[in-house]
Amino acid sequence: MEKPAISPYFALFFAVLAISTSAIFVKLSSAPAPVIATYRLLFSALLTLPMVFMAKGTWSEIARLTRKQWMYLIMSGAFLAAHFLLWFDSLNYTSIASSTVLVTLQPLFAFIGGYFLFKERLRGMAITGGFLAVVGSFVIGWGDFQVGGTALYGDFLALIAAIAVTAYWLIGQYLRQGISGISTAAYSFIVYATSSIFLIGHSLFYGHALTGYPTTDWIWFICLAIFPTLLGHSILNWVIKYLSTSTVSVGILFEPIGTCILAFFIFGDIVTVPQLIGGLIILFGIFIFIRYNQVKGVQANEAT
């Protein structure tokens, strides 16, 4: 594997900062969750298209994709669509803190997926760091979790959304890594376009209007496409070529910290003592994980 021009860990940190804006923009929009998800991915696909034209050989690469690769790309788009549908809808039933904390519990599923799919054996200290980061997430949302009622339903949606996005990252790791790995431009464009097709179909099937929203909503749709998607997910699509899904998932645990800070300045949400303590635990856990993250075992790097 060629040496990257910039540190994948730095790119991961920057991408997670961008992703932290996602829940904020969703909360600011008045449109239904499926419509928000639809335009986020549709605009992302359109904004990625110039990159496809500028990256030399991308169209010929797309033309050479095998049936198996197309199958996995479509699955990846479906999981990404499901993730946004479930997560955005969860924000209608539970708080930003609870939803964001639960949806970032991806390492729990990434460790399992990496073990069975890529034969990854994380070292003890790395696992300890990942566990600490997860504990920190629970500390942040502990005072906000509610047992019963609509909040519990929202928490359940966020947890399923975490499983869906983990599947998306695992497929991305399989397709992006290795000598024949799909390029960032081709992978991002196809997945965003496929996901937007699924979401448009979902919105039409359930009768959600795709027009008639105020100007501010369209601004938030575009912001969702630019910041958490192009500057977040697209960079992570590049990162996944060099780092495992487990590493990316642990890095994303920083998202609740960024989201809570933004929620404080935009919505006036008070940063509580548990949120502060949980944030420090997450940062320490991520540091330990990255410091000792040396995967043992052979990964299935060839995407054929």
In three-state secondary structure terms, 296 is strand
Judge whether residue 301 has pLDDT over 60: no
Mind listing the pLDDT tens digit for each residue in 124-161? 888 888 788 778 777 766 655 554 567 778 878 888 99
Instruction: Kindly indicate the confidence band of residue 302, based on its pLDDT and cuts at 50, 70 and 90.
Output: very low
Distance CA 232, CA 229 (A): 5
Mean pLDDT of 161-186: 87
Mind listing the pLDDT tens digit for each residue in 187-226? 999 999 999 999 999 999 999 999 999 999 999 999 999 9
Which string of DSSP letters, residue by residue, matches 187-254? HHHHHHHHHHHHHHHHHHHTT--SS---HHHHHHHHHHIIIIIIIIIHHHHHHTTTS-HHHHHHHHTT
List helix spans (H) across 64-105: 67-90, 96-103
pTM of the model: 0.82
Cβ 169 vs Cβ 109: under 8 Å: no
Task: Give residue 196's pLDDT.
Answer: 97
Mind listing the pLDDT tens digit for each residue in 88-127? 888 888 777 777 777 877 777 777 777 777 777 777 888 8
Least reliable range by pLDDT among 148-152, 215-219, 240-244, 253-257: 148-152
Cβ partners under 8 Å of residue 277, min gap 6: 139
Cβ 141 vs Cβ 98: under 8 Å: yes
Distance CA 42, CA 44 (A): 5
